[in-house]
Chains A and B, each alone.
Chain A
Amino acid sequence: MTLFGIAWRNIRQRLLTSGLTALSLALGVALVVATLVTGRIVNRAFDSGSGLGYNMIVGAKGSPLQLVLNSVYLISKPIENVSWGFYEEFLPATARADGVDGKYAASTRTAVPICMGDYFRGHRVVGTNAAFFDRLTRGDGRPFEFAAGGNFGDDDFFGGVLGAGVAANLGLKVGDAFSPTHGADDGAVHDPFRVVGILARTDTPLDRGVFVNMEGFYLQDGHAKPLPEGEAAATSPRPSGNVPLPFNQREVTAILLETASLPGLPAELTAMGLRTAINEGRDGQAALPVAEIRQLLDLFVRPLELLLLLVTALVVLVSAIGILVSMVGSSLERSRDVAIMRALGARRGHVLATVLIEAILLAAGGGLAGWLLGHLLVGAIGPWITTNAGVTASVFSAAPLAEALLVPLLVVLAIVASLLPAIAAYRTDVAKWL
């Protein structure tokens, strides 16, 4: 019989105590794993904001963080809208009705408008144009891919594209019709759009977005801005026969900008200059999503994550103390057994090793069970995370490096915790106990 076999038999002999010790350890580890994995998911999701194909967001004056959270992560509320005229200041002459370059056109490579405020069965509806999927990228720098169908054309006023999560959750497919509601899920029901494409999964907040052609969005009840007094509603039908909303009745919630380099200036300086110019004006504000998110992470998310990790690490430490208590109890109960084994010829080293192996088995068993439980926990709360934080979390989400270190660290902790009872067993007075 090996020392491993003896240690295993000792554990089975005290099955209830050993089981409860391993369980407390497993719960602690499960909390640590869930915290680590969730933290990584949130960090990764926020970090993905750096590969979206735009580096600046322009919107109404207010909190720049709110502007970023609403526009990029589809959470929080829109601040307000900015005028269509302000949006046109970022467009080149060829894209403007008056044939003149916008004030900021030289500093702008791409400007994609988005309009928000509608919902479809719990999901944000984003009105935009075809450039959103044609010119921007999916968060990791790669172009958007469609799992089915494709992008809507600018002339397809009532075409819509669904994020992968929305299509999966609601069971919608290309060709299906869907009707957003105004302002909230229980708001007035708008005219139906038709699903023309379903995005491939991006593991970003875009997975839970509903994207519709902004021309159709503008034509819904309550979306047209009242005409200023004395102005006429100037518009003309498109080749498709659809009649768009006149420009002077339009607003946009935000403009996603990819800035250009002005001649002789590095791109960063151009962006900083543009941001300053916008923020000094009265029409709106410019926010840098990467900087805002970094600030959010540094000021709030990471300290909170650290605090959670500290609390859960304390839970694990308490569990390790549980091992210590269990092993001390076990040693006291087994002093006679230890003396018998010593009388049979077991060296002190054998006795020491048996106690340590027992602790390692408890730690490894509890640790692995906790690791599994932690992932099941993340899987279970995944839908809640997705709904509330806009990031995808599943049982397979992982924080590989931290997780790989967790169980070995736990085993080391268990060895340290079991040293005291191991030494007590080592010092057992054979003659006294026989």
Chain B
Amino acid sequence: MPNPVIELHHVRKSFVAPGGESVPVLDIDAFALDAGEQCALEGHSGSGKSTLLNVISGIMRPDAGSVCVAGHDIARFDEASCDRVRADTLGLVFQQFNLLPGFTALENVLVAMSFGSARPDRRRAVDLLSAVGLAHRLDHKPAELSIGQQQRAAVARALANRPRAVLADEPTASIDTRHQQQVIDLLRDSCHAEGAALLVVTHDPLVAEQFPRRLRLEDFNRAARVEPPTARPA
């Protein structure tokens, strides 16, 4: 019996191009990610991969359709409620890692915890960082960590609030081939250990082929079948 943690129905999202015309970016009839499922989502540059993640995480609001995250249709929620759902049920991993530069690795995890419903749990933060091999780097700031260590800290941070799903946007795009495999293994193993679903957006077939489910965005996003011009959000 499927138990989707993320479910999209009839989602449409357009941007306004500099000339003023509306450019559709997302036009998706249906998309679902089941609990604990691990899925790679491929797509060419500009196909709407990042927009899709922003819509799922509630950072962007769709023009139409429903976006259910852990049973909540966040497309109908106000912004604060979206923020709350994102903090409690989703973990985000970014291409540039996006660790807070003034905070240590441990504090980066604790900051993420402070926005969730549960009380920040220092012990869990230490355990998460230890699990990704950063037990000896807890008090190091991002600038004092290697690229690989930064990405591991970002993975630990994404798991801080026991999310139902982790959304990773090109997590291997900024790192070398040797570290790419480590990051994919780490993401998959960590999400598996935490029972979180994993949706990885990538343009790299070598990354995508390691996932049990592999989708091309163009296959279910009608708007991605034509490469859009440079546009800005509507």
A interface residues with partner B (beta carbon < 8 Å): 1-3, 6, 9-10, 12-13, 336-337, 340-350, 430-431, 434
| B72-98 interface bits toward A, Cβ cutoff 8 Å, 1 = contact, 0 = none | 000000011001101110001010001
User: Are A3 and B102 in contact (CB-based, < 8 A)?
Assistant: no
**Residue of A2, A3, A343 with most partner-chain B CB within 10 A:** A343
Given A1-B113, A3-B114, A431-B54, does the pair A337, B100 have CB atoms closer than 8 Å?
yes
Kindly state the separation between the CA atoms of A144 and B84 in the bound complex, as whole angstroms.
Answer: 72
Q: Are A348 and B79 in contact, with the CB atoms below 8 A?
A: yes
Asked if residues B80 and A340 are in contact (CB atoms below 8 Å), the reply is no
Q: What 20 additional pairs, Cβ within 8 angstroms, besides A340-B100, A343-B98, A347-B79?
A: A1-B111, A1-B120, A6-B111, A10-B102, A340-B99, A341-B115, A342-B83, A343-B57, A343-B92, A344-B86, A344-B92, A344-B115, A345-B88, A345-B116, A347-B80, A350-B115, A431-B59, A431-B233, A434-B59, A434-B98
B107 contacts the other chain (Cβ, under 8 Å)? yes
- Expressed in whole angstroms, the Cα–Cα distance for A12 and B103 within the complex equals 10
Q: How many A-B residue pairs have CB under 8 A?
A: 72
Which residues of A lie under 8 Å from residue B196 when comparing CB positions?
none
B-side residues, CB < 8 A to A, are 54, 57, 59-60, 79-80, 83-84, 86-88, 92, 94, 98-103, 107, 110-116, 120, 157, 161, 233
* A340 proximity list for chain B (CB < 8 A): 98-100
Q: A1-B120, A431-B59 are in contact. Are A344 and B79 (CB under 8 A)?
A: no
Q: Which residues of B contact A349 (CB under 8 A)?
A: 80
Complex A-B: 7 CB contacts under 8 Å: A1-B114, A12-B102, A344-B92, A347-B79, A347-B80, A347-B84, A434-B59
Chain A residues lying within 8 Å of B92, measured Cβ to Cβ, are 343-344
Asked if A348 and B111 sit within 8 Å, CB to CB, the answer is no
Give, as a whole number of angstroms, the nearest-CB distance from A62 to chain B. Answer: 70
B98–A345 CB distance below 8 A: no
B113 — which chain A residues lie within 8 A by C-beta? 1
Q: How far is the CA of A342 from the CA of B59 in the complex (A)?
A: 9
Q: Are B57 and A1 in contact (CB under 8 A)?
A: no
Task: Pick from B83, B98, B100, B233: contact of A347, CB below 8 A.
Answer: B83
